[in-house]
Amino acid sequence: MAVRKKSNLNKFFQLRVNLKDAPLPIWRRLLVNGDITLDQLHEILQLSMGWSGYHIHHFHFGNTIYGDLLDAKNKKVKDQTSIKLADILTEEGDQFVYEYDLADSWQHEVKVERVVELDGGPALARCIMGKRACPPEDVGGTEGYRSFLEVVEDPENPEIEEKLTWVGCDFDANSFDARLVNLQLSLMEANLSGAMASIF
């Protein structure tokens, strides 16, 4: 009887991440390792979107909510560190919502475009492509961002200097650099590898 060799293939999900209700389409396409936990996915989404990560977040899978138990005031929130992405997602078309900053309520619709098995691949994730910068932190949700854009895209607006000083830079809503995101993801992987090496 022939012995079946153990597969060295790793399961990956190609995810399309859309920022819901944004005044302009803002999205990312990611290739994500199925072995990552949801807390790692949170960090990946923060890097790829361009958020700063200092607000509470939740993952909504139907009626089940995962998040950081240290931040969770909602007793129904389950531990995001205890479950891997491949434990929840199974096939093309699966969807969930990633919510960041419960006050501004930035909801990201995340959909599985493809499920692939690769020999190798990234330890965490890679950004394939994307479109536009995410809104500044604490801008006031969708309507606040819409008002912010009206000001910063009008050089004659008397509030423009105040808004750009507040955001800390010349804000370009159309900017996005997948290469920079992938550099940050590579650094994240290197830090993870270093942490694992120190354990063993």
Instruction: Indicate which CATH number applies to the domain containing 25.
Output: 3.10.290.30
- Domain-located, residue 1: no
Strand order in the sheet with 106-119: 78-79, 64-67, 57-61, 95-100, 106-119, 9-19, 27-33, 125-131
- Domain-located, residue 157: yes
pLDDT of residue 72: 64
Give the whole-angstrom CA distance, residue 171 versus residue 139: 13
pLDDT of residue 8: 67
Range of the domain at 96: 12-199
| Residue of 92, 112, 117 whose CA lies nearest to 35 | 117
* Residue 96, φ and ψ in degrees, nearest 5: -155, 170
Query: And the tokens for 165?
Result: 């000083």
Give the whole-angstrom CA distance, residue 65 versus residue 78: 6
- Domain-located, residue 149: yes
Give the whole-angstrom CA distance, residue 185 versus residue 123: 10
- Domain-located, residue 103: yes
- Domain-located, residue 3: no
- Domain-located, residue 72: yes
Q: List, for the chain, all residue ranges whose pLDDT scores fall below the cut of 50.
A: 3, 196-197, 199-200
| Residue of 100, 124, 98 whose CA lies nearest to 185 | 124
Question: Considering its fold, how many domains does the chain have in total?
Answer: 1
What tens digit of pLDDT does each residue of 73-119 get?
667 899 999 999 999 999 999 999 999 999 999 999 999 999 999 98
- Domain-located, residue 106: yes
